[in-house]
């Protein structure tokens, strides 16, 4: 059933906005003078104005705005003018005021040919979505999809595009000219549910429970959530669990709850990039922080020193492991929650994204009974996942597999996992020595951090143990001089090392909005020097509500340097990294850069992304 079609054709309306004051004038009997009254600064239509700036006149062709000699003249849609035939959607600047001109009749009733959108295909601009609250969206049965800040234009999807009252309210709220497209009630309401999760209501709910600082001054600096405050606690705990649910749903790896000067910022790290998801009113900071500290079993009265710990919570019907830490910033405690992905513990070597040849080589190395295999790359490049995948590939009850981690993030069955402490009696080096007394076959050392660890690890590798470990270097070859710098004898290293994996994570193109792309010529030339790439097809994500700027998820990109006899000789002779790399390439090594570019040509990721994560390789 459609609402009745409009009969008042082309009814003109002016929204006049100045310094936050708004006034809506219907142009029923022009001319209408726009100017300043003596008693206030709002522009008026009638004869009360004392300083006339402009006038709207009715002509045969419609309405015309004429400058009456104001100091700075008038401006229509950014263009200075003396006289302008008004069109629906024009923005006129007169003095300090902005005037939105609308002809209400120009919004058509939803006839079969009325503009409609398929909401799945519509690209929804998050900046537009933020202009409405959930309550706005529900009460108007509408949500914004496009926001053109400069042009002050907003495209809104509405169930009832003839709801002029709602459109006027939207324009007043957003200071934009609203263009309406129609969509079915069901689609609009389900989009609102998706775009405006109940979080905002929860923020309001929690806020209502907050005692004002004025009424309870003694509580400042004290834990506000105490026993007995059941109702208040409920509001805040609901808000906190919604934040956790939202983060898990968005597949975030970290949640940052950070007090700022004017608000509490909530950011998620998604696919390696921090994104501000929302902000909370500052008065919720203590409550939310305390709630998180209670969940992590921290001392909530301790605010001056950092705390860290972990906990498991039920989020979205599944158990989620969190590593929680606090940091006392000058604006209060910042809380960071790392969401540990249990699937990493079961990581399969097939799922890493390694090319067949490199994977086969790595498995071959993993099946040796002694030596060191190194995984290198910057922090957050997926080294841990690769180590676990490698361990899982050879896991067996016939092997004694022991790890030394800082800290243990993922629990793996059938493996003995140890965790170093901030204590000289249990460091990587001393822990490694005690593991060696426990008859190990495979040892995973979280990180080669110091000289002593490197020396014990090499010793272990030379005495019948397979050692897996990580190092921070940019390329596989660079790991070798680094280990020598850290105090290994080159001849011992040459004898002990089996291979080095170097890796990065690249963001995948979102499958929902993947589209053909034409990278900039200089980018192509830099990535494929000397190659004619005119026949290749490149892709990017256009951006949709399923993804973040056209990317969704990440995949590893790898370089595997197996230590051949020739390279072993070069290590002993202390050749530099680039000579070792050159030799490895001659022996068939696919470099990180080549492998990543292969993923670009397969349409898995973009050239920009590969440039971003492998810049050190170029
Ligand atoms: Zn997408």
The DSSP code sequence of 338-402 is EEE-GGGGG--GGGG---HHHHHHHHHHHTSSSEEEEEE-STTSSHHHHHHHHHHHH--TTS-EE
- Calculate how far, in angstroms, residue 354's C-alpha sits from the geometric centre of ligand 1: 24
- Calculate how far, in angstroms, residue 544's C-alpha sits from the geometric centre of ligand 1: 4
- Calculate how far, in angstroms, residue 545's C-alpha sits from the geometric centre of ligand 1: 6
Q: For residues 192 and 140, give the distance between their C-alpha atoms in angstroms, rounded to a whole number.
A: 11
- Calculate how far, in angstroms, residue 4's C-alpha sits from the geometric centre of ligand 1: 38
- Calculate how far, in angstroms, residue 498's C-alpha sits from the geometric centre of ligand 1: 41
Q: For residues 430 and 426, give the distance between their C-alpha atoms in angstroms, rounded to a whole number.
A: 6
- Calculate how far, in angstroms, residue 81's C-alpha sits from the geometric centre of ligand 1: 42
Residues 6 or more apart from 276 whose CB is under 8 A from it?
265, 266, 267
Write down the pLDDT at residue 228. 43
**Cα–Cα–Cα angle for 559, 560, 564, rounded to 5 degrees:** 140
- Calculate how far, in angstroms, residue 553's C-alpha sits from the geometric centre of ligand 1: 11
Least confident of 205-214, 274-283, 401-410: 205-214
- Calculate how far, in angstroms, residue 132's C-alpha sits from the geometric centre of ligand 1: 22
- Calculate how far, in angstroms, residue 533's C-alpha sits from the geometric centre of ligand 1: 26
**Percent of the chain scoring above 70 in pLDDT:** 83
pTM for the full model? Answer: 0.61
- Calculate how far, in angstroms, residue 543's C-alpha sits from the geometric centre of ligand 1: 4
Write down the pLDDT at residue 442. 96
Task: Identify whether the C-beta of residue 606 lies closer than 8 Å to the C-beta of residue 539.
Answer: yes
The pLDDT tens digits for 174-185 are: 777 788 887 888
The yes-or-no verdict on residue 470 having pLDDT over 60 is yes
The pLDDT tens digits for 336-373 are: 999 987 777 778 888 888 999 999 999 999 999 999 99
Q: Which residues pair with 92 in a beta bridge?
A: 76, 99
Write down the pLDDT at residue 20. 46
Q: Is the peptide bond before 452 cis (omega within 30 degrees of 0)?
A: no
- Calculate how far, in angstroms, residue 514's C-alpha sits from the geometric centre of ligand 1: 7
> Residue 217 carries which DSSP code?
G
Q: Which residues pair with 23 in a beta bridge?
A: 16
- Calculate how far, in angstroms, residue 541's C-alpha sits from the geometric centre of ligand 1: 6
The pLDDT tens digits for 108-138 are: 443 334 455 556 555 778 778 878 877 788 8
- Calculate how far, in angstroms, residue 121's C-alpha sits from the geometric centre of ligand 1: 10
- Calculate how far, in angstroms, residue 120's C-alpha sits from the geometric centre of ligand 1: 11
Least confident of 108-117, 154-163, 327-336, 444-453: 108-117
- The angle, 0 to 180 degrees and rounded to 10, between the axes of the packed helices 565-572 and 577-586 is 170
- Calculate how far, in angstroms, residue 512's C-alpha sits from the geometric centre of ligand 1: 5
Residue 212 pLDDT class (50, 70, 90 cuts) = very low
Average pLDDT over residues 410-432: 85
The yes-or-no verdict on residue 8 having pLDDT over 60 is no
Q: Which residues pair with 320 in a beta bridge?
A: 313
Task: Identify whether the C-beta of residue 443 lies closer than 8 Å to the C-beta of residue 415.
Answer: no
- Calculate how far, in angstroms, residue 556's C-alpha sits from the geometric centre of ligand 1: 20
- Calculate how far, in angstroms, residue 515's C-alpha sits from the geometric centre of ligand 1: 10
Q: What tokens appear for 496 in the block? A: 């002990």
- Calculate how far, in angstroms, residue 252's C-alpha sits from the geometric centre of ligand 1: 16
Residue 103 pLDDT class (50, 70, 90 cuts) = low
- Calculate how far, in angstroms, residue 539's C-alpha sits from the geometric centre of ligand 1: 12
- Calculate how far, in angstroms, residue 202's C-alpha sits from the geometric centre of ligand 1: 28
- Calculate how far, in angstroms, residue 123's C-alpha sits from the geometric centre of ligand 1: 9
- Calculate how far, in angstroms, residue 549's C-alpha sits from the geometric centre of ligand 1: 7
- Calculate how far, in angstroms, residue 557's C-alpha sits from the geometric centre of ligand 1: 21
Least confident of 262-266, 357-361, 433-437, 527-531: 527-531
The yes-or-no verdict on residue 283 having pLDDT over 90 is no
The pLDDT tens digits for 242-266 are: 888 888 878 899 999 999 998 899 9
Q: Is 397 buried (19+), middle (13-18) or exposed (0-12) by CB count in 10 A?
A: exposed
Q: Which residues pair with 263 in a beta bridge?
A: 281
- Calculate how far, in angstroms, residue 509's C-alpha sits from the geometric centre of ligand 1: 8
- Calculate how far, in angstroms, residue 344's C-alpha sits from the geometric centre of ligand 1: 25
Task: Identify whether the C-beta of residue 16 lies closer than 8 Å to the C-beta of residue 25.
Answer: yes
- Calculate how far, in angstroms, residue 513's C-alpha sits from the geometric centre of ligand 1: 4
- Calculate how far, in angstroms, residue 345's C-alpha sits from the geometric centre of ligand 1: 28
Q: For residues 234 and 361, give the distance between their C-alpha atoms in angstroms, rounded to a whole number.
A: 55
């Amino acid at each position: 059933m459609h609402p009745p079609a409009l009969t008042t054709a082309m009814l003109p309306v002016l929204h006049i906005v100045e310094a936050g004051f708004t006034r809506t004038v219907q142009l029923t009997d022009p001319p209408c003078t726009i100017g300043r009254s003596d008693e206030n600064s709002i522009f008026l239509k009638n004869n009360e104005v004392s300083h006339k700036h402009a006038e709207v006149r009715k002509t045969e062709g419609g309405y015309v705005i004429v400058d009456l000699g104001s100091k700075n003249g008038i401006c229509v849609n950014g263009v200075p003018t003396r006289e302008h035939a008004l069109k629906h959607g024009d923005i006129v600047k007169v003095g300090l005021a902005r005037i939105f001109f609308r002809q209400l009749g120009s919004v058509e009733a939803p006839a079969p040919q009325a503009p409609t959108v398929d909401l799945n295909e519509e690209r929804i601009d998050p900046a537009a979505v933020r202009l409405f609250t959930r309550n706005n969206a529900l009460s108007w049965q509408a949500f914004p999809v496009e926001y053109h800040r400069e042009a002050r234009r907003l495209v809104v999807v509405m169930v009832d595009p003839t709801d002029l009252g709602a459109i006027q309210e939207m324009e007043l709220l957003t200071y934009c000219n609203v263009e309406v497209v129609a969509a079915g009630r069901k689609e609009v309401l389900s989009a609102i549910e998706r775009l405006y999760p109940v979080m905002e209501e929860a923020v309001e709910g929690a806020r209502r429970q907050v005692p004002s600082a004025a009424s309870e001054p003694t509580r400042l600096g004290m834990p506000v959530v105490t026993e007995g405050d059941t109702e208040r606690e409920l509001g805040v705990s609901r808000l906190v669990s919604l934040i956790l649910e939202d983060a898990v749903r968005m597949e975030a790896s970290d949640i940052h709850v950070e007090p700022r000067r004017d608000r509490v910022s909530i950011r998620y790290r998604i696919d390696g990039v921090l994104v501000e998801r929302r902000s909370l009113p500052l008065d919720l900071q203590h409550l939310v922080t305390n709630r998180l500290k209670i969940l992590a079993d921290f001392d909530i009265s301790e605010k001056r020193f950092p705390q860290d710990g972990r906990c498991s919570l039920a989020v979205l019907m599944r158990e989620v492991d969190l590593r929680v830490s606090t940091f006392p910033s000058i604006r209060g405690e910042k809380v960071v929650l790392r969401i540990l992905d249990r699937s990493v513990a079961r990581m399969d070597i097939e799922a890493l994204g390694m090319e067949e040849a490199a994977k086969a080589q790595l498995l071959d190395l993993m099946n040796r009974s002694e030596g060191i295999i190194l995984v290198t790359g910057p922090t957050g490049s997926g080294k841990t996942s690769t180590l676990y995948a490698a361990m899982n590939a050879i896991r067996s009850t016939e092997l004694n597999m022991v790890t030394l981690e800082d800290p243990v993030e993922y629990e793996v069955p059938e493996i003995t996992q140890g965790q170093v402490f901030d204590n000289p009696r249990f460091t990587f080096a001393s822990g490694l020595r005690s593991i060696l007394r426990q008859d190990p076959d495979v040892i995973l050392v979280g990180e080669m951090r110091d000289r002593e660890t490197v020396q014990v690890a090499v010793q272990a590798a030379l005495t019948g143990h397979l050692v897996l470990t990580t190092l921070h270097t940019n390329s596989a070859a660079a790991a070798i001089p680094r280990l020598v710098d850290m105090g290994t004898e080159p001849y011992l290293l040459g004898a002990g090392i089996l291979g080095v994996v170097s890796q990065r994570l690249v963001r995948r193109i979102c499958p929902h909005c993947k589209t053909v792309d034409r990278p900039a010529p200089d980018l192509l030339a830099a990535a494929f020097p000397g190659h004619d790439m005119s026949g290749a097809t490149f892709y990017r994500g256009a951006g949709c509500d399923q993804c973040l700027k056209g990317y969704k998820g990440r995949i590893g990109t790898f370089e595997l340097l197996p230590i051949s006899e020739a390279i072993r000789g070069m290590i002993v002779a202390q050749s530099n990294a680039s000579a070792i790399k050159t030799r490895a390439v001659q022996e068939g090594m696919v470099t990180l850069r080549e492998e990543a570019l292969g993923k670009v040509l397969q349409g898995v990721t973009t050239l920009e992304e590969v440039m971003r994560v492998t810049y050190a390789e170029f």
